[in-house]
A and B are shown apart, each in its own frame.
Chain A
Amino acid sequence: AQKITQTQPGMFVQEKEAVTLDCTYDTSDPSYGLFWYKQPSSGEMIFLIYQGSYDQQNATEGRYSLNFQKARKSANLVISASQLGDSAMYFCAMTPSGGGNKLTFGTGTQLKVEL
């Protein structure tokens, strides 16, 4: 069984600052995928970034980067230069090896960007 833990129910960050959202995971699968999704107040789920467990480099997508530390089983999301529009709920998720896109989600972190 897989498990995702997000220990920060809420985070505040000042506009233009960087913020790190924590995610740790537990799995016995040798290969897996890690995802981050953003859910604004309107409710839709927006894909942000993906990291494969065998990827040598940390994934980056614009202002988003994933700090992947395999030995520590952590996959933290770093948002650089925060914007007001980044205020949303952020979910970390993972899929097992050969398990397609059956995502297991964490409980989420509510990020609020302040002026």
Chain B
Amino acid sequence: EPEVTQTPSHQVTQMGQEVILRCVPISNHLYFYWYRQILGQKVEFLVSFYNNEISEKSEIFDDQFSVERPDGSNFTLKIRSTKLEDSAMYFCASSVLAGEVAGELFFGEGSRLTVL
């Protein structure tokens, strides 16, 4: 069964360092997302991406964050200068549909980011 894959599964970084989280969405999907979940809290939307541009972003997604689809398969989330509060599980997701009636959203297994 096709799946969304994420790397790395866990990354530890020093505060102020740049981090890139990578995702390979399901191949025929058109919409891509990043969500995050701070430990013990609910999952929060960060950004959605369609047709090579951001379609929507939350207030969490400030100038420190960026997303890119550098080639036909990868979808990346970059955090320019990490802060302690960026420590969280980051989920990539993809879907075929995203219009009037939302389609099924497939999540990856998550990348756990720990900022020291």
> Does residue B31 face the partner (Cβ distance < 8 Å to A)?
yes
Closest CB pairs A-B (n = 6): A100-B98, A45-B107, A33-B102, A44-B109, A95-B102, A105-B43
Complex Cα gap A35–B104 (Å): 9
Q: Count how many pairs of residues, one from A and one from B, have CB atoms less than 8 Å apart in the complex.
A: 72
B: interface residue count bin: 20 to 34
Query: Which A residues lie at the B interface, using CB under 8 A?
Result: 31, 33, 35, 37, 42-47, 50, 52, 54, 91, 93, 95, 97-108
Q: Which residues of B contact A103 (CB under 8 A)?
A: 35, 43, 45, 105
With A43-B110, A45-B91, A100-B55: A105-B42 Cβ-Cβ less than 8 Å: yes
Majority secondary structure, A binding face: loop
Chain A residues, CB < 8 A from B91: 45
- B55 touching A91 by the CB < 8 A rule? no
A-B contact pairs, 24 of them (CB 8 A): A31-B101, A35-B105, A43-B109, A43-B110, A43-B112, A44-B108, A44-B110, A45-B93, A47-B104, A91-B43, A100-B48, A100-B50, A101-B31, A101-B93, A101-B102, A101-B103, A101-B105, A102-B48, A102-B56, A103-B35, A103-B105, A105-B42, A106-B42, A108-B42
B41 cross-chain contacts in A, Cβ below 8 A: 107
CB distance from A45 to the nearest CB of B (A): 4
Q: Name which residue of chain B comes closest to A52, CB basis.
A: B101
Minimum CB–CB distance for A101 against chain B, Å: 5
Q: Are A100 and B44 in contact (CB under 8 A)?
A: no
- Which chain A residues border B93 with CB–CB below 8 Å? 45, 101
Consensus secondary structure, chain B interface: strand
- Docked-complex contact B99 and A100, CB < 8 angstroms: yes
The residue on B at minimum CB distance from A37 is B107
For B102, give its contact among A91, A100, A106, A108 (CB under 8 Å): A100
Q: Does B100 contact A98, Cβ atoms closer than 8 Å?
A: yes
Contact of B44 among A46, A97, A105, A108 (CB under 8 A): A105
Encode contact with A along B76-116: 1 for CB under 8 Å, 0 otherwise. Answer: 00000000000001010101001111111111111010000
Give Cα distance in the complex from A30 to B50, angstroms. Answer: 24
Q: Are A100 and B45 neighbours in the complex by a CB distance under 8 Å? A: no
